[in-house]
Structure 1
Amino acid sequence: MDPAVGPPPIRYRLLGPVEVWSLGGERLALGTPMQVRLLAILMSQPGTGWSIDQLVDELWQGRPPKTAAGNVKTYVWALRRALRSPGSPDPAILAGATGYRLVLDAQAIDTVAFDDLAQRGYHALRQGRWSDALQAFEAALALWRGEPFGGLPGSGVLLSVRTRLQEQRSSLLEEIADIQLRAGRHNELIEPLRRQIDGNPLRERPWGQLMIALAGAGRRADALATYRQLRRLLSDEVGVEPAPDLQHLHTRILRADRELLTSGARPPEKPAPQVPRQLPAPPALFTGRTRELARLTTLLLGDAGAAGTVAVTGTGGVGKTWLALRWAHDNLHHFPDGQLHVDLAGFGAETQEASPSAVVVRSLLPALGVKPLEIPAEPAAQFALYRSLTADRRLLVLLDNARDAQQVRPLLPGSTRCGVIVTSRHTLPGLVTAEGAQPVALDLLSTAEARQLLVRRLGVQRATAQPAAVDELISRTARLPLALSIVAARAAARPTFPLQAIADELAASRGGLAALATDDAATDLRTVLSWSYRLLSADAARLFRQISLHPGADVSAAAAASLADAPPHLVRPALDELTRANLLAEQTPNRFRCHDLLRAYGEELTDLHDSPADRRAIRKRLLDHYLCVARDAVRLVDAGWQPLDPPPLPVAASTPAFADHRSALAWFAVEQRVLLAAVQEAVAHSFDAHAGQLAQALTPLLSRLSQWHDLAAVQAIAITVARRRGDPCAEASAHRDLALAHIQLRRFGAAHHHLRRALARYEQVGDRPGLASAHLHLAWLSDIEGLPGAALPHAREALALASSTGDRLGEAAALNALGWSHARLDEHARAITYCKQALALYEEAEDRLGAAHTWDSLGFAYHGLGTHPTAADCYQRALTLYSDVQDQCGRADTLVRLGDTHQAVGNHDTSVDMWRQALAIFDRVGHPQAGELSERLAAYH
């Protein structure tokens, strides 16, 4: 800390009962025990963000009340007030979008100061500065006021941190004893060492120190008796002999070793520890991952001298081990005491992952210099020895391919000075929550990184000569590093082959998996993916197969429930399991995705495990889901919309409930690509009725968002399936809606063609409301073509048809069309009369979009009369309604006309601003009017 800044305004004490003190020496009142526990959790890992769900789990340990989330927010509010020290500007703030974290100066916490002093002591110890080491260690211990988090229940993260701190304290006491033995203070050490042993009798190092102290004080018989007492204890409790160094010490005392028995003699020097170098070679031609490498550096090397545990997680083949090895080899100099590496085989060809005990016995302890006969028999003693050997060393430990947190936890070193990288296909939430591991989620490579990988593997000349083929290889391998490497190796083995030929192989194989097969299980993509799949529960495995039949790039939790034919709360555990296994990624709350190669693998599995009838039932449930939800959405967006056919039966689970038209449009904005893909999927699998009904429901939604090209595409499909089904009414509706897209895209010939077809089909079935809507489209088309006189007959015919069927909204639309056409013919007073009648009907029906159109027409008519203030007011009302219903093109049209009104009264700057706002909208949606308006602005300037 910069001395000029001064001490932190608040001091936090965890090494004893939890206390917070102001700079002025006032102890702050923290409130209820639950508030104190919450603060302790946040302080246990300063700067770490905690979600509300994590805090609920920590506070109530799996048995929260129904009001738990609200209680957490109440505690946070109370703590914010409590932590405001008088005269200090909010020294600690609990903040966060989805949860909370404690923002403070880390030096204000006594646990951080304790760690810092301990590291200073160890540094001095390694340099032989015994006095400095002793001073630092004693200063660190002086910070302790009792058991860490004293008085708080010991569970979850608090138990984990408390155990770590107590282990560190014990190690410091032992280091102090060694230094004092070196100085010959045998007599004064005897009682403190006995107290240490009483507090932790299975910790062997203090026993040895007590034996040395007794022998050095001339009490050789007591030293030998102490050894016998230890031996009985270990035999009774864990069934092992004392450690080899204690056996050797016992022998020296028996032989009356002169150096050992001489007062003031130093304890025997520890042999130089073995330095392990177990890392595999770094990955060849590693590319990309700059952000992730920097993140690892921040997490493992960011704090002075402190390391920590990082969990690198991601799906199979995404490059977790490559990333870990690359970072490890780049940073070896930060870990002078060596590197440990273990493949935990959590996911692989073997049926059983490596047990922690086997890992310690066969790999870790031998690497640290422990001879086979010196390894304890009991797992607890093995782990304790491992922690002891790593307690004062700066090692890098790479635990690769972990199955779960239970497999990793016993293998964590006994010191925060060690850096630990765990890689896993599982997200390891237990390790993150209880052990404070920092997650680094590894996703697919970016397109640029994937291209860089191929260029490095294939050579610049070959890759740059065939850029289109490289792009296709990137697309078909889904930017998965393993798949890209397989393709690159295949291309390198056939240097004379065009890259396009290899891309064609991928295209010809289903989903690319057959073309990504190798004779090595470790690199065969199908095999690698199977290692994750086979560990799933039956429910999660079935859901993974079902999701592979989903047509979009991502799937909502509600859609997944429909795929599974179960309520969402019963499907959520399977979704969570797939997410933890990194077979799905929850990219936003309740929305999941998996890359194309995982989807292709899932399709292979469903072909293998599910019958054709099952697969068809799954697809039907999904299409029913989207049709039901789309219909609910469009009813809120377009008050006059009427479905062609009755809806399907409700899907077992779950249609999201929409509060209003805004939430319906927000849902559609997210699901638009999926819904368009669902129309294609319906046609491909002969669900023609679903394809036509979905296309009809999408028309108002796509229109509201000005997605005219997509509207044209789905309505072309709707025409095809309507003809195939022999449904003239559906065909008429599709022709009319396709004409709407052509009108907006200024394809007037095509619009006329489809409206004529629509009229013919509506006449054929005697659909009078349909005929009215077709005539309204023809009126609009005539007007856009500059023929308002030709528009009038169509508007009148639409009004007559709507009136004959009692269609009030149809009448309103026809009256507005009449008003607009008369205004275009400079018959403004007559236009206003028609528009006011239309407005009354729209407001009666609470149809905001229709009212917006009509206020715009009224604005145009009043502008024609020269009543510019009234025109501007009408336009403003239209703009408000267009914004409310999120009709961007309608808003842009009105902005243009409002600009014209301001221009007419000399408000030139305002008019230009209106036109620019309109141009921005037209540009954003790709509307043909953008060019015309851009030219107007250019000419004006």
Structure 2
Amino acid sequence: MDPAGAPPATPYQLLGPVEVRSACGERLALGTPMQVRLLAVLMAQPGTGWSIDQLVDELWQGRPPKTAAGNVKTYVWALRRALRSPGFPDPAILAGPTGYRLALDGLTVDSVAFDDLAQRGYSALRQGHWSAAQESFEAALALWRGEPFAGLPGWGVLLSVRARLQEQRSSLAEEVADLQLRAGRHHELIEPLRSQVDDDPLRERPWGQLMVALARTGRRADALATYRQLRHLLAEEVGVEPGPDLQHLHTRILRAERELLTSDPRPPETCPPPVVPRQLPAPPSLFTGRAGELARLTTLLLADPGSAGTVVITGTGGVGKSWLALRWAHDNRHHFPDGQLHVDLSGFGTATQEASPSAVVVRSLLPALGVKPLEIPAEPAAQFALYRSLTANRRLLVLLDNARDAEQVRPLLPGSTRCGVLVTSRHTLPGLVAADGAHPLALDLPTDDEARQLLVRRLGAQRAAAQPAAVDELIRRTARLPLALSIVAARAAARPTFALQAIADDLAASRGGLAALATDDAATDVRTVLSWSYRLLSADAARLFRQISLHPAPDVSAAAVASLAGAPPHLIRPALDELTRANLLAEPSPNRYRCHDLLRAYGEELTYSLDRPPDRSAVRGRVLDHYLGVARDAARLVDAGWQPLDPPPLPADASQSAFADHRAALAWFAIEQQALLAAVDDAVAHNFDAHAGQLAQALTPLLSRLSQWHDLAAVQAIAVTVAHRRGDPRAEALAHRDLALAHIQHRRFSAAHHHLRRAMARCDQAGDRPGQASTHLHLAWLSDIEGDAGAALLHARRALALASSTDDRLGEAAALNALGWSHAQLDEHARAIAYCERALALYEEAEDRLGAAHTWDSLGFAYHGLGKHPTAADCYRRALALYSDVQDPCGRADTLVRLGDTHQAVGDHDTSVDLWRQALAILDRVGHPQAAVLSERLAAYR
């Protein structure tokens, strides 16, 4: 809006009778009614291309005269003349290869300006800026001059767009009424709301607003009578009761609730905005054409204002399904103000298994919607239910890319029909179409003109124009497949001195094809293009390309590449550079590489045809050795007490990273976490059971420190399986203990007890006394959480006896601290201090800062129990310093709470409240269940 608050200038107007005004405000004469309807169709979707056949259908509703196509061209000619004026020197109707489109800039059409103002208002509303939201909404409504396309027959696109705009207008009017009610303007709303319910009596929201306005003006009886009037109307017209919201409102009016009878008391600043995810990858830079498919997507997803629905884009691999979905999603993201979600389901990658719906929800969708790790339910059914709840009543766009089948997609469908869902797949997913009402959109090859546009944009118009026959042959040899076209264009652009005919001849001489992308025409086989690129590589680069295809994840570091190649990093750098230049490998960030799934599939086929099985096994073994070695280094730095269980020896050529400290180790893990989890799966799939179990064990301290309990449970379940399969009771016991740890964090105590019992049985079988001690410590912790201090004390005593008998100094320290804590819980504080001081001495001797932090915290609790508050506070501060140093946020939060308790005990209320708030901030950040308890405590001091 301009500074005066007037709506933006919109020369093309359809929110009322269709009109076009010149720069000086003069209404242009548009000609015959058919010309006006043609212009209205083009204005309904500005920028969208319409073929002659589509325009004929829109103008004559399936009953065209024989001269219809010629008539359309005549109407276009006449409209172009009518639209020429001092304000419009150039014709706005442009001709394309197959039809016409209305080419306008910015907010030239009033419906586009209306959408823009509405989205500004909703954005301001989500941020709590009520006055700005109302200003935008009212400016949007001020653009309306009557019914959209007034005076024109309603069918086809005009009917669907008219319905959408009218729904949006009604929704905006309701938003304005809500804002006015919050501002206390209920007196002036009563009559406009009466008119609104008279005009559209089946919309329940205005009835509720009218009831609130009446109640706030002291007319409760009239408000209740209004509810009875609506109830009678609904019963007569559709045979239903008012919705639950109105029923609840009716009850509140009957009770004369004070909050209802006054304006909303909360200022805008107290309304926290919901999380609005923006996960769409960047739009495809070389996208061309597809006007018809884009228009079809708009019709399927936006024609019904109340329901967006699901569209499945299907077609052969490399045909541009993801490009089309991303292009449409970016162009229409303003229609989905609550955000956009994106997931690559890896249905057709080279991973051992496609992404499971549960993993997608836990690792991508729920975190994007603001759910903390500890807030995520343990069971998949509950995870899906939470996801549906969070997406209900929201206007989200969800892009599910590269799906394998309907079962992979169905649990990821949102909980609201207002959400739009785009699915891309190489399969048609008939089950999703038949059972879930999805709309199929089959994507065919682009036209010759569109293929030529892609090549010209990459090669340059001058080079393409100089060799038109070669360009035509490149298009024919690649069968216009977008992926193949892109590879050819990149190859030609990287070698500007090559003749295009030579590139075409080389392409023609290639053989082969990817089975997943094969078509009836051999020229459409992408393997031809990929093999052509592969043949140009040096022997070292070709071998490295094949080896990288065996890496368990698409992203790989330079260090991991060096390990799988069995060579120092500086020796593989030339081959890596060659692969990136050939577009067979991308380097999205320094020393990190990514291989597209089709290229990985091609490389894997090559290595299975060219390399011996022992060589492939050696590559997998080397990369697993790399991840195991580096993960073990990181685990030792993060947890000084961590010890591996007889790891397999690492060969001399396995590349390992050296970390300066535990901070560097945690930073490395944050980057490599997905690759490490994939490595565990890959190890199991290819019979590297020892690596799978050892890697799972090394991940325990890393996943625990970051509160990644779902992933910890997954890898330890694998560790249990492989240890049992290998007949290794010590490894199986450890896996059961670590799996119990994940269950304890999920508060699944019965499952935790089960796994700890299994762990103890395996320790007994193996005669593993340190393992028995560790299991008793876990049981002590679990008993303490369950409130059984006596049982915790018993387990701690057994742990101490076992650790002492094996000269396990850190195990003894942990047991002593557990004994001290248990005695403190039983109000035996002096004994607690004695045990904790012995534990502290052992931890400090071993330089175990995390164990020392736990022990200083226990000492603080014991001294607090004795009433020695200054000493307790000093102990807590020592613990806080150590927790900060080792980056343990949950331990720090627990100590902050107890330090606050100590300040509270001596009457220092302000300091205690400040400490509790610091703790609450940490617990909220990690989604800890104690956050709610602490929040309630703080509420009492506000």
Please give the TM-score of this superposition, normalised by the length of structure 2.
Answer: 0.48
Please give the TM-score of this superposition, normalised by the length of structure 1.
Answer: 0.48
Which structure has the larger Rg over C-alpha atoms? Answer: 1
